[in-house]
Amino acid sequence: MTHIENLQQALSQHASVMAQLEPMLPQIAEVAQVWRDCLANGGKILFMGNGGSAADSQHVAAEIVGRYKKERKGLPAIALTTDTSILTSVGNDYGFDFIFSRQVEALCLPQDVVVGFSTSGNSANVVRAIETAKAIGAKTVGMTGGSGGKLAALCDYCLTMPSSDTPRIQEAHIFIGHSLCDLLEAD
């Protein structure tokens, strides 16, 4: 396969995944309403994920605290992926599987929403943090791919992308992240 053919294949797989999101639009709108209700009731939204999904967590949290498109007041959202002192101390003292759950234990309130990005749906640190959020009584949202993994069964809401290819799943995740921010700012 030439390099151009390689790129054409990726582009066509990306387009196919995006086209298959259409039936999920009601589910995406439902999650947007959960986010809107949370923020209207004084809650905050916590995000987490590993690797590219850590970047997605920070990206979406930044749209909420800053702005997506509309001039408005800042809204409360935190990416649990950014504080290297917390990540290294909890990782070092308790283990990598606890880097998010410990922060959920410390920061999450029942009126909050906790969002886990995991293309496999099986990253142990995300799964454990979602379990902690549920125990607190917060609403939980999984952003996954493939079969949805463990998060699909665990989360109150799970948006599972119709692909098993990590980059294609992540590209769909950020489209949905932007769409949710769009609906957060809608009248």
- Which of positions 19-78 make contact with Zn ion (CB under 5 A)? 52
- Span of 49-57, 59-67, 70-78, 82-90 interacting with ligand I22 by CB under 6 A: 49-57
Residue 73 and residue 63: Cα distance in Å, rounded?
A: 12
**Chain position carrying tokens 């799943």:** 169
* Candidate ranges 19-27, 66-74, 100-108, 114-122; the one touching ligand I22 (CB under 6 A): 114-122
Is 51 among the residues that bind ligand I22 (CB under 6 A)? yes
Q: Are 64 and 131 in contact (CB under 8 A)?
A: no
Instruction: Kindly write down the DSSP assignment for every residue of 28-54, as one continuous string.
Output: HHHHHHHHHHHHHTT--EEEEESTHHH
Q: Which is nearer to ligand I22, 81 or 170 (CB)?
A: 170
Mention every residue, 6+ apart, whose C-beta is less than 8 A from residue 105. 132, 136
Residue span binding ligand I22 (CB under 6 A) among the ranges 61-69, 87-95, 99-107, 162-170:
162-170
Cα–Cα distance for residue pair 175/137, rounded to 1 Å: 28
Judged by CB under 6 A, does residue 118 bind ligand I22? yes
Our CB check for Zn ion shows the closer of 101 and 170 to be: 170
Residues contributing to the site for Zn ion (CB under 5 A): 52, 170
Residues that bind ligand I22 (CB under 6 A): 50-53, 118-120, 123, 126, 166-167, 170
